[in-house]
C-alpha cells in the first residue's frame, strides 16, 4: 500500500500545536542542561532499525496461530509493509530476511522494490532449525554440530546459499542462530559438539565476501532443553574469537536466563570490539518475543546506556552495529506492534543520549551510588517522546505513527486488498 503523503501532512498539521508546546518546553530544558538538541535530533534521525521479514504476520505459539487479516502473502507485500512503517516513522529503513521463508525469486526486482521505499537489506538469516521439503538429511539431531558429516555439509551449504541471496540484495551480514543442542544429559559430548560446530562455522566463514560479517546468536534453551551449543555470550564470544575479525556476537534480548545482567554482557562485548548486532524484543520469562519496552523499559534504557557509552567512547573499537527487531506475537496487529517496538527503542536511545556522562563518571569515581542513580534516573524519567516526534516531523514522517495508522484504518484497507485469512511465512 502506497501512502498518500498529503494525509500525513494533514495529520501533522492537526497535531502540530500540541506537539510544539511539548517539544518547545523539553528542548529548552535540555538546552539549559547543556545538551545540543540538534545533535540529538540528528542522531535520532540517523538511527535505523531493521524489521524482520518474519514479524509482519501474527506469529503464533507452538499451540496455534490466529490469522490477523491482511497479512502479507509474499515477499513483495512484506517489503510494502516495511515501506509503510518506514514512511510512518522514518526509522525502519531496513529489512532482515529469513531464508528459506523469504527467498527472493527475482532479486533485481526485489531490490528495486525495496529501494522505491528507501529500504536496505540488513543481515540475512539462515534456518537449520526446521527441515525443508526435499532436503536430503534431517536436522532432528542437529545441523552444523551434527555427528554426521553429511548433515553438517548440508547445513553449511544452506548457509552459503543464504550468503549468496544476501549478496544479490546488497546485504552485508549473515546471522546464524543455531538451534542445535541436546535434551538429555549424556546425549552428546559438549567438547566434540563445539569442535564440530567450529569446523562448520569456519567453512561458512571462509565463504564470506570480504566486506561481510557473520553474527553468532546465542540462546540458552529452546527448542532443546538440556544444552545448546551456542548457549550464552561466552560461547558466542569464544566462537567469534576463534573465527576471526568478521565474526561478531549477536544479543537477542530474549535469549538470557531470568535476571541476567544483559547490559553488562553488552559492555563486555563492546570492550572486546565483538558486538555485531541486536535482536530487540521484550520478555517476562524467556524468548517471549513481546513488543520491545512492554515489560522492562528500564533494562532497555540501561542497555542503551552501555551502547551509547560504547559508541561515543574513544577507548572502544567496535564495528558499526546492526539493529534489528526479532519479535513475533500472537494477538497484536503486527504493524502496530512494530511501530511500538521501534518507538520503545528510540525512547531508550534518546534517554541514553541525555545522560549527564561527565557527572556520572565523577559520581562513579567518588563511589557515590546515590548520585549515580539520580543521574541515570533523571534521564530515564524524562519524557523524551517530543524529541522523537520532532525528529519524525522533520523527516516527513508522522507525529504519531500509531495514531495515524488507526485514523486511516490502514489494516482495514490491507484486509480489503489481501483478504481476511492470509498467512505470511515465518514461525
Ligand atoms: C529464534 C532466534 C532467531 C531466529 C528466530 C526465528 O531468536 O533469531 O531467527 O527465533 O523466528 O528464537
Ligand atoms: Mn533472535
Ligand atoms: Mn529469539
Q: How far apart are CA 383 and CA 347, in angstroms?
A: 8
CA of 426 from ligand 1 middle (Å) equals 10
Torsion, Cα 175 160 73 179, to 10 degrees, reads -50
Exposure b/e, 237-275, CB count within 10 A at least 16 = b: bbbbeebeebbbbbbbbbbbeeeeebbebbbbbbbeebb
What is the mean pLDDT for each group of 10 consecutive residues in the chain (427 residues)? 91 98 98 97 98 88 82 95 98 97 95 98 98 96 98 98 98 98 98 98 98 98 97 98 98 97 98 98 95 98 97 94 92 96 98 98 98 98 98 98 98 94 75
Ligand 1 nearest-atom number relative to CA 98 = 9
Q: How far apart are CA 79 and CA 70, in angstroms?
A: 14
Q: Which of 216, 228, 220 is nearest to 269 (CA)?
A: 216
- What's the pLDDT at 240? 98
- What's the pLDDT at 173? 98
Q: What angle do CA 247, 248, 251 make, to 5 degrees?
A: 150
- Identify the DSSP state of 100: T
Q: Whose C-alpha lies nearest to ligand 1, atom 4?
A: 177
CA of 311 from ligand 2 middle (Å) equals 22
Residue 163 · residue 155 · CB < 8 Å: no
CA of 193 from ligand 1 middle (Å) equals 21
- What's the pLDDT at 68? 81
Q: Looking at the domain 19-418, which fold is it?
A: TIM Barrel (3.20.20)
- What's the pLDDT at 26? 98
Pocket (CB within 6 angstroms of ligand 1) = 54, 125, 177, 217, 252, 279, 287, 326, 427
Q: How far apart are CA 408 and CA 97, in angstroms?
A: 28
Cα radius of gyration (the chain): 22
Q: Whose C-alpha lies nearest to ligand 1, atom 2?
A: 177
CA of 194 from ligand 2 middle (Å) equals 21
- What's the pLDDT at 58? 83
Amino acid at each position: 500500500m502506497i501512502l498518500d503523503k498529503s494525509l500525513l501532512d494533514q495529520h501533522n498539521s492537526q497535531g502540530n500545536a500540541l506537539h510544539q508546546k511539548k517539544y518547545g518546553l523539553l528542548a529548552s530544558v535540555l538546552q539549559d542542561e547543556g545538551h545540543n538538541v540538534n545533535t540529538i535530533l540528528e542522531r535520532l534521525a540517523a538511527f535505523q532499525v531493521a524489521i524482520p521479514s518474519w514479524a509482519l504476520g501474527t506469529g503464533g505459539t507452538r499451540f496455534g496461530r490466529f490469522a490477523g487479516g491482511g497479512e502479507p502473502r509474499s515477499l513483495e507485500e512484506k517489503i510494502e509493509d516495511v515501506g509503510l512503517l518506514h514512511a510512518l516513522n522514518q526509522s525502519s529503513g531496513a529489512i532482515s530476511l529469513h531464508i528459506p521463508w523469504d527467498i527472493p525469486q527475482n532479486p533485481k526486482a526485489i531490490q528495486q522494490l525495496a529501494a522505491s521505499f528507501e529500504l536496505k537489506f540488513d543481515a540475512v538469516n539462515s534456518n537449520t532449525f526446521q527441515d525443508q521439503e526435499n532436503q536430503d538429511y534431517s536436522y532432528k539431531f542437529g545441523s552444523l554440530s551434527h555427528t554426521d558429516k553429511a548433515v553438517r555439509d548440508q547445513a553449511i551449504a544452506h548457509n552459503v546459499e543464504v550468503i549468496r541471496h544476501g549478496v544479490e540484495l546488497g546485504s552485508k551480514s549473515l546471522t546464524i542462530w543455531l538451534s542445535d543442542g541436546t535434551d538429555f544429559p549424556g546425549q552428546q559430548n559438549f567438547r566434540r559438539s563445539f569442535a564440530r560446530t567450529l569446523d562448520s562455522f569456519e567453512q561458512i566463514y571462509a565463504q564470506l565476501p570480504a566486506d561481510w560479517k557473520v553474527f553468532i546468536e546465542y540462546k540458552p534453551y529452546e527448542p532443546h532443553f538440556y544444552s545448546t551449543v551456542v548457549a550464552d555470550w561466552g560461547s558466542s564470544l569464544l566462537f567469534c574469537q576463534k573465527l576471526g575479525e568478521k565474526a561478531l556476537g549477536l544479543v537477542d534480548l530474549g535469549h538470557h536466563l531470568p535476571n541476567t545482567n544483559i547490559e553488562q554482557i553488552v559492555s563486555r562485548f563492546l570492550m572486546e570490539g565483538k558486538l555485531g548486532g541486536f535482536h530487540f524484543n521484550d520478555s517476562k520469562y524467556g524468548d517471549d518475543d513481546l513488543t520491545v519496552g512492554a515489560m522492562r523499559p528500564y533494562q532497555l534504557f540501561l542497555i542503551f546506556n552501555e551502547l551509547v557509552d560504547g559508541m561515543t567512547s574513544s577507548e572502544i573499537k567496535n564495528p558499526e552495529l546492526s539493529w534489528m527487531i526479532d519479535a513475533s506475537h500472537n494477538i497484536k496487529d503486527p504493524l502496530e506492534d512494530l511501530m511500538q517496538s521501534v518507538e520503545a527503542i528510540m525512547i531508550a536511545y534518546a534517554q541514553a543520549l541525555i545522560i549527564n556522562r561527565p557527572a556520572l563518571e565523577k559520581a562513579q569515581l567518588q563511589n557515590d551510588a546515590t548520585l549515580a542513580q539520580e543521574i541515570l534516573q533523571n534521564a530515564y524519567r524524562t519524557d523524551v517522546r517530543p524529541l522523537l516526534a520532532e525528529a519524525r516531523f522533520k523527516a516527513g514522517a508522522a507525529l504519531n505513527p500509531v495514531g495515524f495508522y488507526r485514523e486511516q484504518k490502514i489494516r482495514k484497507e490491507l484486509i480489503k486488498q489481501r483478504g481476511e485469512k492470509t498467512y505470511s511465512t515465518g514461525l
